[in-house]
Amino acid sequence: MTSTSRTCLAVVLAGAMLLTAQAATAVARPGGSSAADQLRRDTEAIHALGVSGVQARAVAPDGRQSVATSGTADLRTGRPVSSDGYFRMASTAKTLVATVVLQLEAEGGLSLDDNIDHWLPGVVRGNGNDGSRITIRQLLQHTSGINNDLPGYTTAQEYYQQRHDVYSPARLVAGAMASPPDFPPGDGWAYSNPGYVLLGMIIQRATGHPAHQEIEDRVLRPLGLDQTRWTGTSSALPRPHAQAYQLFGPGSLVDVTDQVTVDHETSFVTTTRDENRLLRALLAGRLLPPRQLAEMKQTVPVSADVEQLWPGGRYGLGLVERPLTCGGTYWSHEGGDGGYITLNGVTDDGRRSAVVSMSEARGDTLEHIRDQENAASALIDHALCGGGRGPS
């Protein structure tokens, strides 16, 4: 897992112990004192690992919300974390892409069994890559075998040199074609950002519109998600937002807020409010017909290295299924991009959900990566289990 790929699964979570911090806060709206207290304790636990800023929002079955923040939004000024702060959606946008693809399937605009060459002839070629053998379903499920090779940075110097670089989708795919596939199509599982770049290109070919426009028209506007915005090639975020930090080595903690997302065609910023609304609407069946939602929830095992971070996790079509300690499972899709790390979850019926966004990533050691992932996963689990009462 590296910051080069800058995804929820393959991002290097980088960070350091805080230099300054604000006191943790929690506000029930009015989700009940126990829910708010648990959320506050869980945000404090993440902050205690050294994560500079944490914001979380949990929504109960009756729609009542609990909100908690911990730490600081800016290590220079000590500015407090906003519970309504924007952050980069990163790979959670894969759920948006998958939703649009499945909507198009429901409308007869494409088939999940179409191969890449049907829509993008000759684009996936070279070094053993063959677009005639890879289906849209395999792209959605990360079973295509296409290597997860995208431009990125691994040092502070590279960050400053590359943070404003802009790449076309065709250039990103061409870069991935320079590497042989990880396995023959359908014969394994490996996270592939270039696979979702290809899906964006297929959406544009099928509709005549860029993928971000289809996402806005088909998902964001119908749900009233006015805090979820496409940023394109802008390196800035709307206010308020926490600064994002990344550790490139001992003593090298860098503010990496200012950067252009590599796959800018589907680069969105969002808030915990909107991300909760999105997941709840999706699982409640407001975005997809029953057959397409069922297809989205058909899962396969993830690779062994990712399973270490997601024990029992399985991947559907742009959705991850994970077990709950109180029984049953939940659905999610993490997002990680240059310091912003977000975990989320929603119960199968769409009635209970939670989102936690962290503005510092601890990736200097595998132990720190696991500690941050485990603490954030525990917050989601506690919120969805309703304080031990089960996920209903």
pLDDT at 41: 97
pLDDT given for residue 256 in this prediction: 95
Read off φ and ψ for residue 107, nearest 5 degrees.
-85, -5
Domains of the chain: 25-384 (3.40.710.10)
Q: What is the pLDDT of residue 33?
A: 57
pLDDT of residue 22: 32
- Which of 281, 318, 283 has its CA nearest to residue 299? 318
Digit-coded pLDDT (tens) for 124-149: 999 999 999 999 999 999 999 999 99
Rounded average pLDDT per 10-residue block, the chain, 392 residues? 36 29 37 79 96 97 96 97 97 98 98 98 98 98 96 90 97 97 98 98 98 98 98 97 89 91 96 98 98 98 92 97 97 93 97 97 79 96 76 47
Residue type for position 152: G
- Residue-level pLDDT at 223: 98
CA–CA separation, 8 vs 3, rounded Å? 10
Which residues contact residue 326 at a Cβ distance below 8 angstroms, ignoring those fewer than 6 apart?
381, 384, 385, 386, 388, 389, 390, 391
